[in-house]
Amino acid sequence: MVLNPVISKLAGKLVVLASASPRRLEILSNAGLRFEVVPSWFKETLDKGLFKAPQEYAVETAKQKALEVARRMPFKHLKTPDMVIGADTIVTVDGMILEKPADKDDAYRMLSSLNGKEHSVVTGVAIVLCHEKDNEEVDYQSIEFYEETKVKFADLSDNMLWEYINSGEPMDKAGGYGIQALGGMLVEYVHGDFLNVVGFPLNHFCKQLDRIYNRCASSSDVESTSLWPSHASSVLTPAPGNLSDCDNAALPPTTSRGRGAERNATKQDAIEPKKEDLQQIVDLIDGFKASKALFTASEMCVFDLLHSRPGLDAAQVALQIKASVKGTECLLEACVSLGLLRSKERTRQKPVFENTSLAAAFLLTDAPHSLRAYIRYCNEAVMPLFSHLESAVSEGSSQREKLFGKTSKDTSSNSQEVKLRFLDAMHSIAKVTALAVATAFDLSGFKSACDLGGCTGAVAYEFTKAHPGMSVTVFDLPAVVEMSDRFHPLHADNRVSFLAGDFFKDELPKADLYVLSRILHDWSDEKVHILLSKVADVCTPGCGLLLSEIFLDEDRGGPRCCLLHALSMSEGRQRSAAEYAVLLERHGFATAHIAHTDSILGAMLCIKA
């Protein structure tokens, strides 16, 4: 893969795509690129008559898009990007430039001009590199190129053209068609880069990055590494593929051994495995033990005890938690190894224990970001599921009904105590993640929001704190709403209200913005489409949908928590940001922004077209 040699050069850099196109988002994400989406505000009003060739027009438009975002971000987003990617795709035929149609008649005019003819699809691309100088000014360097692909339309009847136009697909696509979807039926052949016709010339883009960053290029071809500031977040994940010898020089030694090297390993290698490799496997084997040690210490209130009385020895802790001295000593030492406790030697025979900052932040009952309720839920409800993982994988179904006698969605038949424990768990994890989601985007343009499945209102209260002009309605099941007042803050914001209902069956409240926080991953594709259809139906153009989930990496290799959760075999499934963008586009929502927050959740803001 051409991107592999530049991974080490881009590590720690902020890459931005200056386009809201789901097609470009998907193409770049599938290549392994990690980036933020900040659509350009540049008005595509360049005078086409000033350009000698259509390619020049596309390149200049791409450049202006990228430069607008690069110059705006330090002021609007309080951070300077390291790289901004701009792109503009046009269709040319008989010397005319065709962009997106204004209406159905315009789409018919475009498609008629292409009918039975060969035309060119040109994508101009600009890679703008930003360098912050000591005086807080920013230098911009632009690398520009274009890709041209020849496409031939079949001879099509007017009825077929209008059938395609009435599908709605042509309206947001250059030349009035999308080759990757229904528009493929119009095309007789393609000569050149197919992805270029979809919207982005990935192969040419990769070659340009290789030319800029490959360590084995001549000094005249290589960008100075001092061009890059070091403050931004990581933006690349390794993509699969073969590495050349030159590529290996740019990567850590542990990644340079390919499969051939592994096949040719010596007998000595087989007899004496590397310590770090063996440790990684042992840590995975013992992972359930670490979880259970945390669960047990939390259930026995060890962290609360050592918060109120730090410096107790094992015998003193055992007395307070009513456990054996031997068992308590083993538990405390295990928690030390996990980084949850630290021990100090008061005497050689009796070390004493106290909480680490990690335990103080997340494991105390009354800590602002306490996860103790979520830990209890995992111990009581999730751990048993994973003890039956072989059956779950064999059957491809959740074991919850076998274990607990009811489905995970059957809240009505649960006891009051079980309901409270579940809500307490959801409330604790929401409190930890809600602030990052609420502040991921500027939502000042939205005055009312509806948090679908908003549970205890933890997310809603963070939204009203972050956006003073916004009111939020929490819409959830009657059994949830009737118990939500137990979780309201002491001085509850009256801009947060609760409404009981079933978002699959009942009419949704009217709002400018709909929030789906950790909802879609839990439901089947059929139910996801039902819910999104209901949201789309109630939305008017300009309404927003804010989606918050743990996004899978585009190579589906992580994050680990997301993939391990999927093993519970719930009816839902995990998705990447690109997959969510495509899913939402099917329901008329265009992706405006994607944010990889400082929390475990990512966020995506979409606008109803």
φ, ψ dihedrals at 264, nearest 5°: -95, 15
Task: Give the Cα separation of 37 and 32 in Å (integer).
Answer: 15
d(CA 540, CA 532): 14
For the chain, percent helix, then strand, then coil, each to nearest 5?
Answer: 45, 20, 35
Distance, C-alpha 224 to centroid of its chain? 31
Please confirm, yes or no, whether 88 is among the known catalytic residues. yes
Cα–Cα distance list, 250 to 205, 209, 222, 238, 255 (Å)? 20, 15, 14, 13, 10
Q: Which of 151, 149, 153 is nearest to 115 (CA)?
A: 153
Query: Which helix (H) or strand (E) covers residue 190, if one does?
Result: strand 187-191
Beta strands at 589-596 and 544-549: parallel, antiparallel or unpaired? unpaired
CA-wise closest residue to 213 among 164, 251, 264? 251
Task: Output DSSP code: residue 597.
Answer: -
551 closest CA partner among 531, 521, 528, 524: 521
What one-letter code names the amino acid at 276? Answer: E
Q: Are 471 and 449 in contact (CB under 8 A)?
A: yes
Token digits of residue 262: 């592994």
Catalytic annotation, pick one of 88, 210, 247, 304: 88
Q: E strands within 365-469?
A: 448-452
Tokens describing residue 587: 């329901």
CA dihedral 337, 338, 344, 347 (to 10 degrees): -40
485 DSSP 8-state letter: G
Report cis status (omega within 30 of 0) of the bond before 54.
no
CB-count exposure of residue 218 (10 Å: 0-12, 13-18, 19+): exposed
Q: What is the dihedral of CA 285, 290, 295, 300, to 10 degrees?
A: 130
Q: What is the rounded CA–CA span in Å between residue 147 and residue 128?
A: 18
d(C-alpha 478, C-alpha 545), whole Å? 23
Indicate the SS3 state at residue 326: helix
Residue with tokens 């609007």: 76
Can you spell out the DSSP letters for 528-542? HHHHHHHHHHHPPTT
Give catalytic residue positions.
88
